[in-house]
Structure 1
Amino acid sequence: MFASELTIRHVLGFPVHIPARNGASTCAPFDSYLNWIQQRIEQQQPTHTVTVNAEMVMLGRRDEQFARILQTADLLAPDGAGIVLALRLQGVKILRCPGIELSERLVSLAARQRWSVAVVGGQPQVCERVLQQWRARYPDLDVEGHHGYFDAEGEREIVAQMRVQQPQLIFIGLGSPRQEYWIRSHRNAVPQATWIGIGGSLDIWAGTKQRAPQWLRDRHMEWLYRLYKEPWRWQRMLVLPQFAWHVVVNGVLAK
């Protein structure tokens, strides 16, 4: 069973799923997550996937509703460098599983498996550009999408369309925590789907923004590049030293 390949560790009280046979891994454990998600889709099991980082964990410590979303998500993969480092302090050697890279692999897998896909998020031209790119790259991909700039009426129309189409894999790119709340509110409209929040991935795929250079990603410093490109993030990133402090203190108390 693919599901047996994952086990749960906790970071500041929140679950993180890792490969059960994890050792001194030299690559991100994409295969284990892809296999697990594939099984869920094929068995039509409702699934909420979260690629979790330190900011989300700290928000969960402050916000009871968001904490409940993280606690009840079906899969939490370690996206942020802080999560990976916290796991390493527990003796778990694993590299990041960036949500954008997991999602790219899921799109490719969806095309091969002929899954139906829906996308919500991004500016209108960004969403349309990504849809065009995917359709050109994967002619067999069944994908529909809607941009993320909608009012209450537009939201109802999006959900109604999903309810009719019943896509099997749904990407929501509204930024965190909005996308996680949006999934919680609407996943019953497509109860057998796998939902995953993709943050700003659509902008990267469309070419309107750039990821950090590979050498920064390899050193778990993508967050620093994002802060350089988007300095308004500094207030959000103030939680990172707090996260590190809590991880260290919890580690000491656990010994």
Structure 2
Amino acid sequence: MKAARQAWRRLEPVHAMIYFVPEGGQRYAELGLEGAGGYFASRSAVFGRASAELVIATFYNFNPRLIRTVIPAAWDITTPEQLLAARLDAAGAALKRAKIDEVPGLDETLALARRAADAACERLQGRPLFAAHAALEYPDEPILQLWHAQTLLREFRGDGHIATLVDEGVGPLEALVLHGATGTIPTPFLKMSRAWPEEEWAATEEALRARGLLDGDELTAEGKALRQRIEDRTDALALPAYEALGEEGCERLAELARPFGRAVVDAGLMGI
């Protein structure tokens, strides 16, 4: 399980950069969508003309009021097909800017990532956002094939993560507060990007303190145990994809993935 998690984490910047690079915002703006409209519409375009309710359900921890300001209004401005093409074009331009096509081992990395993604595609049930992405054709360019494969693996894992949160009885805002308390992602960023009002955030913090999960702004022992249980279960639900590689294949993908992820970060594509 450790090697599978490393393989996903090290290659994840190749997918995740699409949410931070200016190429994305520029192309969505050309279609008439700015800011949150571009994000929610471009990522949910795999569903077709998605309703706000569908986006709320599958994106999970964003303030529903934010989503309703842009979905379904986005579909009166542009089409899902145009957004999918714009997103792919933005991904290609950004990855070329990071020169990941010059990183050694692209063919082998792609072969391993695609094998894992193909295995995930045999497990569509209960993973709606992943399944919608799985219906897309692979792009022609190798670097975009790698981006698409990692996108599939990310959404496969993400749907499993949401299932775990629901099973644990951790709501959208509770999940954000607990995540922020780990220190892995700054709480101000989570507040800004997920758009929950300060009073709702504070009330959720107080409720989590009453449950013994928070002490001040930090996780209690019980809170840490809950977070670890969620991460472990998320890892376990992602395993069907990586079991196709075996332990050695996962270790090899983790080894190969490191310079690809590093190239994305070093080029500033993650906004850091």
Which one has the bigger helix percentage?
Answer: 2
Shorter chain as denominator, the TM-score bin is: under 0.3
- Highest RCO, 1 vs 2 (Cα 8 Å, sep ≥ 6): 2
Which one has the bigger strand percentage?
Answer: 1
How does the TM-score come out when normalised to structure 2?
Answer: 0.25
